[in-house]
């Protein structure tokens, strides 16, 4: 199993089990599981109606109380204003410090949405084309790259294996995990090195004939941005998205292991007790998942993206054209689509050691929810999923009927 699978039954970064269950639960308007914990919510500006705020506060608390997370924080944005934000749980098991709703966290694969946005901006400028081949953009990098397009990288139809599934990243037991904690998490990787790990394995399928989530695709997309612009993908995201939108809490570190304060810590629950895994070298994720942000910044980013402020209509439409992954769930160009009672929802999920996150909003960019939580008790995977889904349903479809059980993913 991978370190992500060890941490949580919700699965690896991307459109895994948690996303499939999310879509089903949104279709069923699942109610959150009851819990005893409380969350501290604050709402600058006009607040949510009292009943809605109470439901959101309870749903967030359930992620900690029923879902076995050490911490959770979330923010709901509607019509350009903060409707509600809150936090629950403990930020640091050593000091018992409370979680802050304005805290920083690792966003994992939500990074992909930032990278895809930059790629599509370059497409709109005529500097890239979605039918450009990998061989044209990055000669000699991928076997069979002449038959793989930029679009197929962005929507995961390339057939290129995921480097994170290589046996060298596999953690078979607790001893392997402890070795990763002691040494592995500090390793610096180059994107090309990780691409070579992936392409040492045979292709999963001929390009364009299947779908398989692969972090390798976004390493290549980041390399293509650098090839075209002469700047690292991180600098292009900063210049094109972070600075124009005033995302003061968002960064994409290359090798720095730190998360800015305040933040909730991430942990592994091992036989000897909790192990803090907050610090890690992010180069092993790079353009596939190295980002750090806040709930406020993520909501602002998704509102601007889906509201048409970052892409021209043609490129935004391409981003939202999805490959059907399972009923009610599709994957576009760095965006996941999830059907719901309030129409199609778009966003992305993310997972890295100690942190899981979700960013989802309505198609018109009117309403968004950003959530970060820190899974800990692996025996509560199903309860955690129900609690997370309860929060997202309450945030995005507040008028939908509640009740019933979450369908299986």
Does residue 109 carry a catalytic annotation?
yes
3-class secondary structure, 228: helix
Q: How far apart are CA 146 and CA 94, in angstroms?
A: 53
Separation in Å, CA 135 to CA 127, 149, 326: 16, 9, 30
247: Cβ–Cβ under 8 A, 6 or more apart, which residues?
241, 293, 297, 300, 301
Under 8 Å between Cβ of 10 and 16: yes
As a three-state string, the secondary structure of 254-282 is CCCCCCCCCECCCEEEECCEEEECCCCCH
User: What are the beta bridge partners of residue 104?
Assistant: 263, 294
223: Cβ–Cβ under 8 A, 6 or more apart, which residues?
137, 138, 141, 191, 192, 195, 233, 287
Under 8 Å between Cβ of 229 and 236: yes
The DSSP call for residue 80 is T
Q: Which of 8, 69, 109, 340 is catalytic?
A: 109
Residues that are catalytic: 109
């Amino acid at each position: 199993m991978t370190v992500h699978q060890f941490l949580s039954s919700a699965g690896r970064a991307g459109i895994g089990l948690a996303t499939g269950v999310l879509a089903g639960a949104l279709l069923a308007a699942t109610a959150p599981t009851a819990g005893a914990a409380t969350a501290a919510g604050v709402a600058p500006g006009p607040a949510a109606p009292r009943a809605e705020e109470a439901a959101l506060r309870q749903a967030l608390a359930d992620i900690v109380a029923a879902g076995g997370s050490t911490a959770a924080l979330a923010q709901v944005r509607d019509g350009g204003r903060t409707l509600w934000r809150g936090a629950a749980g403990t930020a640091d098991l050593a000091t018992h410090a409370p979680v802050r709703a304005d805290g920083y966290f690792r966003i994992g694969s939500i990074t992909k949405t930032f990278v895809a946005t930059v790629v599509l901006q370059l497409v709109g400028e005529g500097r890239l084309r979605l039918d450009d081949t990998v061989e044209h953009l990055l000669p000699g990098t991928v076997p069979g790259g002449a038959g793989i397009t930029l679009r197929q990288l962005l929507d995961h139809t390339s057939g290129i294996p995921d480097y994170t599934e290589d046996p060298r990243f596999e953690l078979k037991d607790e001893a392997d995990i402890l070795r990763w904690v002691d040494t592995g998490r500090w390793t610096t990787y180059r994107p090309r090195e990780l691409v070579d790990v992936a392409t040492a394995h045979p292709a999963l399928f001929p390009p364009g004939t299947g779908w398989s989530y692969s972090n390798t695709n976004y390493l290549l997309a980041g390399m293509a941005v650098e090839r075209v612009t002469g700047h690292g993908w991180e600098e292009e995201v900063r210049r094109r998205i972070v600075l124009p939108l005033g995302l003061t809490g968002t960064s994409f570190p290359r090798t720095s292991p730190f998360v800015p304060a305040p933040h909730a810590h991430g942990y592994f629950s091992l036989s000897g007790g909790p192990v803090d895994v907050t610090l890690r070298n992010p180069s092993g994720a790079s353009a596939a998942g190295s980002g750090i942000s806040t709930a406020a910044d993520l909501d602002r980013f998704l509102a601007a993206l889906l509201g048409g402020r970052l892409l021209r209509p043609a490129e935004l439409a391409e981003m939202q054209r999805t490959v059907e992954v399972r009923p009610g769930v599709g994957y576009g160009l760095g965006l996941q689509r999830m059907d719901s009672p309030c129409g199609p929802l778009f966003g992305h999920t993310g997972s890295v050691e100690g942190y899981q996150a979700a960013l989802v909003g309505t198609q018109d960019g009117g309403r968004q929810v950003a959530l970060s939580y820190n899974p800990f008790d692996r025996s509560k995977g199903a309860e955690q999923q129900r609690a997370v889904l309860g929060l997202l349903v309450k945030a995005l479809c507040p008028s939908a009927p509640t009740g019933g059980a979450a369908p299986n993913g």
